[in-house]
Amino acid sequence: MRIPMKVDYGVRALVDLAGQPDVHRPVRTADIAGRQGIPEPYLDQVLTTLNKFGLISSRRGPQGGHVLARAAADITLDEVVATLDGRNPPLECIDDATECALSGCCAQRDIWRDVEEAIHAVLITTTIADLAERQQARTAAPLTFAS
């Protein structure tokens, strides 16, 4: 299963905003794009969607930029994925058994449902704050080299 690029970029942007020293100070798209290695025009589209759905607040102008619309601990990965990619099951028949004539006797449908539920369980319990803390720990940890 692949995570769409727009979800990856959206999560990276939200973690970037959550990791700012002053989370109430707007951050420019260009600054996020530069730090995260994301093409600015594509990031702008992702940020527009995040703003439209209330995950961030965006302001134009010289003092403009983006801030989290609410605490990073209140934004789950499940919400980010749903906002940027919708709710797409691994197979159509998981949500709608009428999509497949074999659904009544198909063994793999149950497995894919289990996979979807396991992923969903992680997404609903992981927040942007969790990822920001992990990111900070990884970038703050000293490098150790094997001798």
CA distances (Å), origin 1, targets 4, 11, 26, 91: 10, 17, 34, 11
Run of H or E including 56: strand 56-59
Per-residue model confidence (pLDDT) at position 42: 97
Surface-to-core class of residue 146, CB atoms within 10 Å of its CB (0-12 exposed, 13-18 middle, 19+ buried): exposed
> Percentage helix, strand, coil, to 5, in the chain?
60, 5, 35
Task: Name the region of 54 (left: φ>0; alpha: ψ -120 to 50; beta: rest).
Answer: left
Assigned domain for 144 exists: no
Q: Which two tokens stand for residue 53?
A: 């759905």
Per-residue model confidence (pLDDT) at position 112: 82
Q: Give the total number of structural domains in the chain.
A: 1
Q: Range of 56's domain? A: 5-138
Assigned domain for 57 exists: yes
Per-residue model confidence (pLDDT) at position 95: 61
Contact status, residue 89 vs residue 110, Cβ threshold 8 Å: no
Ranges 4-13, 18-27, 112-121: which has the least confidence: 112-121
Surface-to-core class of residue 122, CB atoms within 10 Å of its CB (0-12 exposed, 13-18 middle, 19+ buried): exposed
Assigned domain for 143 exists: no
In this structure, what CATH number is given to the domain that contains residue 120? 1.10.10.10
Per-residue model confidence (pLDDT) at position 140: 72
Per-residue model confidence (pLDDT) at position 33: 97
Assigned domain for 146 exists: no
Contact status, residue 59 vs residue 26, Cβ threshold 8 Å: yes
How confident is the model over 46-73, as pLDDT tens digits? 999 999 999 999 999 888 999 999 999 9
Per-residue model confidence (pLDDT) at position 145: 62
Contact status, residue 40 vs residue 64, Cβ threshold 8 Å: no
Per-residue model confidence (pLDDT) at position 1: 66
Determine the Cα–Cα distance for residues 12 and 7; give it in Å rounded to an integer.
Answer: 8
How confident is the model over 90-126, as pLDDT tens digits? 666 666 666 666 666 677 878 888 888 999 999 999 9
pTM (two decimals): 0.85
